[in-house]
Structures are given as structure tokens and as C-alpha cells.
Amino acid sequence: MTHRLRLLAAFAFALAAVSGARAVGDATVPPPAASAPVAEARVRDKSHGDALAQCETAVTRSIHEIRGKQVGDLQFGGDARAVSTDGDRVDVKGSGRYRRGAGAPIPFTYSCAYDEASGATSGVLFREADSAAVPPLPVWQADLSKLSPEACEAAAAQSLQANHPRASGIVFDGDTRKLGPGAALSGTGRIVPAPGMNPGVFKYRCEFDNSGRLVAAHAEN
């Protein structure tokens, strides 16, 4: 009887030792190394998705505010891209098209800034493609091929936004663009000075040197 009890006690001790070893082994198993990077990537992708969606909403609102109620069939292209910059700012650029009444589709490009911390958009700027033929230039005017209307308009937009930091939309009228003496490029556009306000007209003027480099830009409304 005593021998049988000793065998049972030894067997119970062996089982307890094996169970303890398994418990210790389980406690030391580290979590999968890939879980943290995957979670971070999902958050980052979601932030950029929010930036694209919010900027498209802001551009849609600006186009309707500036171009009126006849705007319809507004569509955004699939080329939109979001680039993270300093801090929480994400810069979004893309393209799209819309119609005004029964007219032909009007293509445009846009840019917008999105703040990931506040969820707010700012700096909405869109340019409509100018389908009109470029008129012949008088002899005293500079060669348009050496100038950059886009650089001029970007600098003019910065000038406007400095005076109207709450501006919800800026658009340049490509058909009013013209060259003047001394390689000066000028034109007009429309701006919504702040959300809820009526759009107003602004004028801009840029000056280039002989090499086509932008040296000055000014805009006022």
C-alpha cells in the first residue's frame, strides 16, 4: 500500500512540473511583431482618405459659391494625391470637371490643405482649363512660352490669402489673362473672402524678367 501511494505522489508531482513549464512558456511568448506597424499604417491611410474626402467637399462648395447654381455634373478625377508636410498638414492636389448649364464639360485642377488635428480645410484653389486660342502677340510683348502663368497665379493667390486668411475659394479666369509691356501678365478672378460671403472679383498682375523668371506678383479686390 505504501509503495502504491509513493507512485501516485510521484506521478502527481511530474504532472504539476509539466503544467508549470507550459504556463511559464506561454507567459513569455511575445506578441506578433507585425501588429504595431499594421495598425499605424491603417491610421495613416485613413487620415489621407479623410484629407481627400474633405478637400473634395471643400472644392465642390467653392465651385458652387463662385460659379453659381448652374454648376452640375461635377466629377473628380482619379489622380488625386495627398502629401504629408510639416506637422498635421496634408496637401491635396487633383483634377475634375463640371458643366455650367448645357455647356461643354469644363476641366479644372485644384489644390487644398487639410489639418489632421482639427479636420479643417483651407487654401482651396482651383484653375479652369483655358480652351480659348491664344491671340497673336504684338511685337512689343514677351514670348508667352518663356513665362509661367501658373507661377504667377500661385503667387497672386498667396497675396490674396494673406489679406483674406479665411477665404474659402479662389479661381482665376483664364480668358482674361493678357500680356502687357515689360513682360507683365495680368487678369482677373473671383474669391469668396470667407465662408458664407458672396464671391467678389479681384485683379492680379505679375512681372517677369527677360529670362521668364517671376519677380513680382500682386492681387487686390
Report CA-CA distances (Å) from 126 to 36, 53, 167, 182, 186: 39, 16, 13, 28, 18
- pLDDT for the residue numbered 147: 77
Q: What's the rounded Cα separation, in Å, for the pair 193 and 57?
A: 18
Residue pair 167/161 in contact (Cβ under 8 Å)? The answer is yes
CB atoms < 10 A from the CB of 201, how many? Answer: 11
- pLDDT for the residue numbered 39: 35
Instruction: Judge residue 156's burial from the number of C-beta atoms within 10 Å of its C-beta, 0-12 exposed, 13-18 middle, 19 or more buried.
Output: buried
- pLDDT for the residue numbered 123: 85
pTM for the model stands at: 0.58
Mean pLDDT by 10 residues, the chain (221 residues): 51 47 43 40 52 92 85 90 85 91 86 90 82 46 68 90 87 82 85 88 89 87 82
- pLDDT for the residue numbered 21: 41
- Write down the domain spans for the chain: 34-129, 136-221
Q: Which class in CATH covers the domain with range 34-129?
A: alpha beta
- Looking at beta carbons, which pairs linking 71-77 to residues 24 or more positions away fall under 8 Å? 71/98, 71/99, 71/100, 72/98, 72/99, 72/100, 72/101, 73/98, 73/99, 73/105, 74/98
